[in-house]
Structure 1
Amino acid sequence: MGVEGIQGLHHVTALAGDPRGNLGFYREVLGLRLVKRTVNFDDPGAYHLYYGDALGRPGTLLTFFLWPGGTRGRVGAGQVMALALTIPEASIGYWQERLQAYGVVVERIAPRFQEEEVVLGFRDPDGLALELATHPRAGERPGWPDGPVPPAHAIRGLHAVTLLETVAELTLRFLIEEMGFRVERAEGDRIRLKIGPGGPGAWVDLHVDPRASRGRVAVGTVHHVAWRVRDVAEQQAWRARLQARGFHVTPVMDRKYFRSIYFREPGGVLFEIATDPPGFTVDEPPERLGTGLMLPDWLEPQRGEIERALPPLEGS
């Protein structure tokens, strides 16, 4: 391909409403660690919260832009229709009981791909479609050992994203020919592709529905999907490659904890290519991750104004 391969999912960013409700659900119910509380660098009046494993490693990160009182979105063609997180094979019963104990409606428990994985479907407080998926390789990644969920059952990171498309051909060709994905299997109206080493955290599923209408990206929907590269040099090579193929790609943006470029795949989903370094310990030690409001240097002069505009978070 002329550039180094993408290694898998880096993070997924969604839109949420109530900040306290979001924090309570993802930290207390799902047991993810809040690894960074900051603001949307492009809209510093809004929180940007990052959840993940103990260090916020790439491939474990689920992040949210918080829009209190924002319009509820609607999933449609050219969007992510579900986000799956990995759990150990023996944990499906634990999670069903835990979610129900917190009043979360479990929409389905279904096997997928000849019962290789069992999927528990539900929604977060803003209606975001989530899945917990079992897999034999779940144990290859640790969860957060110090959270409210016992380590044996802890979520192990991102599993896969499911893209909703009206036709498969354009997106499928792009993923294979331009990004280096390989088709792993197909089942019904779902096509699974893998990137890099494959396995949990390195999958994208295509769900094809010719009747799907366009949706609205707002509260309760995914904003973008980020893919991992090792460093800025690899990212620059990807930017040049995509531009040469006629894609509009943003300049490299400094997100403090990684560098980012953005573009849309042919079906309309917003993709990001993000670097693994420098990571979340650049401004907080591991034991303090997620405890303070962290800002990039260029927003520090506005800290007072920003802090006054943000709603309080639990523990702030």
Structure 2
Amino acid sequence: MAKPIVGLHHVTAIASNPQRNLDFYTEVLGLRFVKRTINFDDPGSYHFYFGDDAGSPGTILTFFPWPGASRGSLGVGETAATAFSVPLTSLAFWEKQLSENGIPVERLGKRFNEEVLSFADPDGMRLEIVGHPDAGPAKPSRFASIPAEHAIRGFFGVTLSEKRLESTAQVLNTMGFHKLAEEGNRVRFSAEGAELGNHIDIVVPETAAYGRMGAGSVHHIAFRVPDDASQLEWREELSAQSLQVTPVQDRTYFHSIYFREPGGVLFEIATDPPGFALDEPVESMGEALKLPPWLEKSRGVIEQRLPVITLHKEKVEAL
């Protein structure tokens, strides 16, 4: 039996404007631009990684920023919201920070005894900031203007929109996420052993229409395992349950396997190592375009095809 999974490794979404995406997540939310690389399956486009200062698993939000991508529409079989973790005392700061940067924000009140802010990024991706007393220590970006005490710690979790609960719940149970609580049509599953990304909520909406993937959509969510051996155990375990699991994919900074859970959401299981400092120092992560070794010979062509972007590193006082 494979060891239980303790939480999320990363969440990957789609954006439409690389510079706007970069500016929002670094300058408004104060995340570190951990890595600029390319989509290994589409080398003519970027793959951006944002997270805490060290690029820790459980903090990484990644994007395929495809210029001109049409807006997606949310439906069942998708990730409906991605939630960040902050101390409860930081909610007022974030309400002000978002509002003064022109981002409409709504305080949803208490959900499972935690306070929640809801807002959207420039592509309409639904985001939440959850304030709770167990947010854990901060590893803020060294370039962010957000005060360290209010910095986003990493993921709180995600909300999945599903047509049915039972089959997805069974997969989550197998992976070490067990039902913790229920409110209305929302059921929370939680895993033990990690401070970050260990909550998966499932919502079964009254109208169960399927959405359309596009800008503002979450492409997949990735769960973390400590090493390659554990990942292979999970591949065997999940395949035995008739889930169609891919072979291991080398993503340079982690190794991955993928499968669709019964409700349609694309799940990934990613290894913690090698990590994002594999090919550049932590001090300068995100400053240069990094390519996997097998694409270095095509660097000139790839760089010509990619849009020019500017990373603003200077600290600016938070509003």
Band the TM-score falls in, shorter-chain normalisation: over 0.9
Do the aligned partners of residues 148 and 272 (structure 1) sit closer, same or farther apart at CA in structure 2, a change above 3 Å counting?
Answer: same
Amino acid at match of 2:141: W
CA contact (8 A) 2:72 2:211 kept: yes
Question: What residue is the counterpart of 1:236 in the other structure?
Answer: 232
Deviation at 1:210, TM superposition (A): 3.8
Q: Against the structure 1 CA distance between its residues 150 and 124, is the aligned structure 2 distance closer, same or farther, given a 3 Å change threshold? A: same
- Using the TM superposition, name which of 141-150 and 42-51 deviates more: 141-150
Q: Determine what percentage of the aligned residue pairs are the same residue.
A: 52
Contact kept? 2:6, 2:176, Cα under 8 Å: no
Q: What's the counterpart of residue 171 of structure 1?
A: 168
Number of aligned residue pairs:
312
Offset, 1:174 = 2.0
Q: Does the CA contact (< 8 Å) of 1:160 and 1:200 recur in 2?
A: yes
Between the aligned partners of 1:301 and 1:157, the Cα distance in structure 2 is 35
* Counterpart AA for 2:94: W
> For 2:239, what is the secondary structure of its paired residue?
helix
SS in 2 for 1:100: helix
Residue of structure 1 in register with 2:280 after alignment: 284
Contact persistence 1:108–1:122 (CA under 8 A): no
How far the C-alpha of 1:145 sits from its partner, in A, is 5.0
For 1:157, the aligned partner's letter is: G
Gaps of 5+ in 2: 313-319
Once residues 264 and 43 of structure 2 are traced to their aligned partners in structure 1, the CA distance between those partners, rounded to angstroms, is 26
The match for 1:131 is: 128
CA distance in 2, matches of 1:187, 1:210: 15
- Counterparts of residues 95-134 of structure 1 (less than 5 Å): 95-113=94-112, 116-134=113-131
Relative to 1, partners in 2 of residues 1:58 and 1:199: Cα closer, same or farther, differing over 3 Å? closer
Partner deviation per Cα, 1:210-237 (whole Å, 9 max, x = no partner) = 4220001111010000000000000011
Alpha-carbon distance in 1 for matches of 2:266, 2:142: 32
Q: Which amino acid aligns with 1:45?
A: G
The whole-number CA distance in structure 2 between the counterparts of 1:196 and 1:228 is: 13
Q: Could you say which residue in structure 1 is the equivalent of 2:58?
A: 59
Deviations 1:108-159 (A, max 9, x none): 332111xx21110000000000001011111345333541101011000011
SS in 2 for 1:282: coil
Match of 2:159 among 159, 162, 166: 162
How many angstroms apart in 2 are the aligned matches of 1:241 and 1:169? 19
| Structure 1 unaligned spans of 5+ | none
Moved over 6 A (4+): none
Q: TM-score, structure 2 length as denominator?
A: 0.95
Going from structure 1 to structure 2, the CA distance change for 1:199 and 1:285 (only over 3 Å counts) comes to closer
Aligned residue runs from structure 1 range 184-203, under 5 A? 184-197=180-193, 200-203=196-199
Structure 1 partner of 2:315: none
1:87 Cα deviation (Å)?
Answer: 1.1
CA distance 1:89–1:207, change in 2 (3 Å): same
Q: Quick check: 142-151 or 254-263, which moved more? A: 142-151
Distance 2:272 2:5 in 1: 11
Residue 198 of structure 1 deviates from its aligned partner by 5.8
Kept after mapping to 1: 8 A contact 2:135/2:195? no
